[in-house]
Amino acid sequence: MNVHSAAIVGASGYTGLELTRLVARHPALRLEALYSDRWSEELAGARLPLPGPAAALRYRPLAEADRAEAEIVFLATPAEASAELAPKLLARGARVVDLSGAFRLEYAADYPAWYGFAHPAPALLAEARYGLPELAREKLAGARLVTNPGCYATAIALALAPLVRAGLGLQGGIAVTGMSGVSGAGRKASEDYSFVEVADDLRAYRIGRHQHVPEMEQTVARYAGACPPISFTPVLTPIRRGILATITIRTGPSAPASDLAEAMRAAYRDEPFVRVLAPDKVMVKDVVHTNRCHLGVAVDTRAGAVVAVSAIDNLVKGAAGQAVQAMNAAMGWPETAGLDLVGG
């Protein structure tokens, strides 16, 4: 692994911060620029614990990001900003890993409805490689533009793909409840996300309308050949980071023929970051601060359903860690490089 230069745009959001921690310690990356208006001119080392050279970097204004000179540029910017920036950076010869949704959907026509803007660079949608290595590894090698999966989409597609491939869910529907920590909403000065409003509370939001829905359906369909519509209900929970998704697939009166836990285990046997456990052993606390996804599956024979459970850290496997993993795959490095996290 030769050392390559790297930059992070949008470095002061929760995803950007996590990415800074990881990139600064990556054995094959030399972090050389951080862009953030919020902390412009401040020292990075004053904001988070970093090794020497990264600690000495000063945040630069976002307006300068389109002239970033790093070989690899991570975009932790809102989708609309990424959609504008990525083409410019690619034109300069940079490799881009975009953590927003700007390049996740296959069809530009879906952007107005799900993301609220008309896509300014639709040609890039075909070029972007989806950065979920466990399902799409073979297309990542050499990728110039990696589109990093959404946090909910990661947790849910990893659980669903092997089950749908085993024939589940194609006739009935799939009902998903995705419970997320508050960092999933980003860094915000908002009363809605204040401690007093969120602590001790649970609430659903954007039922059936979350922008990760088309992404998870598209991803499962690509991997498993087809995907029925997913009815997705996100829920805000009083934890800082982490996602737990419960996925109920109707099977009807006859129990599934195959051993579903075994199918899951087989699908991920050689994956360093995925573990299949008994479903009541799948806990957010075991995956936070790691790049892991823990999965489990239960058969509810009585009710004619299969229930899968999936847990990730929304900021690591659901964002920054996965971006590093996908970049590793794109560069031909070991996927675990820079990702042996202590956890806890």
Q: Which residues are catalytic?
A: 151
To the nearest whole angstrom, how small is the minimum distance from the Cβ of residue 121 to a copy of itself? Answer: 26
To the nearest whole angstrom, how small is the minimum distance from the Cβ of residue 341 to a copy of itself? Answer: 6
Q: For residues 207, 307, 129 and 288, what is the CA-based torsion angle, rounded to 10 degrees?
A: 90
Instruction: Please identify, using beta-carbon distances, which residue of 23 and 224 lies nearer to a copy of itself.
Output: 23
Instruction: Please identify, using beta-carbon distances, which residue of 69 and 201 lies nearer to a copy of itself.
Output: 201
Q: What is the DSSP letter of 110?
A: G
Instruction: Please identify, using beta-carbon distances, which residue of 71 and 300 lies nearer to a copy of itself.
Output: 300
Residue carrying the six token digits 């790691």: 290
For 314-342, b/e burial (b = at least 16 CB within 10 A) is bbbbbbbbbbbbbbbbbbebebebbbebe
The residue among 134, 82, 313, 104 whose CA lies nearest residue 214 is 104
Q: DSSP string covering 58-96, please?
A: B-B-GGGGGG---SEEEE-S-HHHHHHHHHHHHHTT-EE
Residue carrying the six token digits 């964002």: 319
To the nearest whole angstrom, how small is the minimum distance from the Cβ of residue 140 to a copy of itself? Answer: 23
**Count of beta carbons in the 10 Å neighbourhood of residue 256:** 19
d(CA 328, CA 330): 5
To the nearest whole angstrom, how small is the minimum distance from the Cβ of residue 18 to a copy of itself? Answer: 7
Contact status, residue 150 vs residue 212, Cβ threshold 8 Å: yes
Sign of CA dihedral 49, 333, 283, 154: positive
To the nearest whole angstrom, how small is the minimum distance from the Cβ of residue 127 to a copy of itself? Answer: 28
Instruction: Please identify, using beta-carbon distances, which residue of 83 and 314 lies nearer to a copy of itself.
Output: 314
Instruction: Please identify, using beta-carbon distances, which residue of 64 and 197 lies nearer to a copy of itself.
Output: 197
To the nearest whole angstrom, how small is the minimum distance from the Cβ of residue 153 to a copy of itself? Answer: 15
Instruction: Please identify, using beta-carbon distances, which residue of 130 and 232 lies nearer to a copy of itself.
Output: 232
Report CA-CA distances (Å) from 246 to 13, 19, 145, 161, 295: 27, 27, 31, 14, 10
Instruction: Please identify, using beta-carbon distances, which residue of 121 and 312 lies nearer to a copy of itself.
Output: 312
d(CA 290, CA 189): 27
To the nearest whole angstrom, how small is the minimum distance from the Cβ of residue 232 to a copy of itself? Answer: 8
d(CA 108, CA 126): 10
CB-based contacts of 138: which residues, under 8 Å, 6+ apart? none
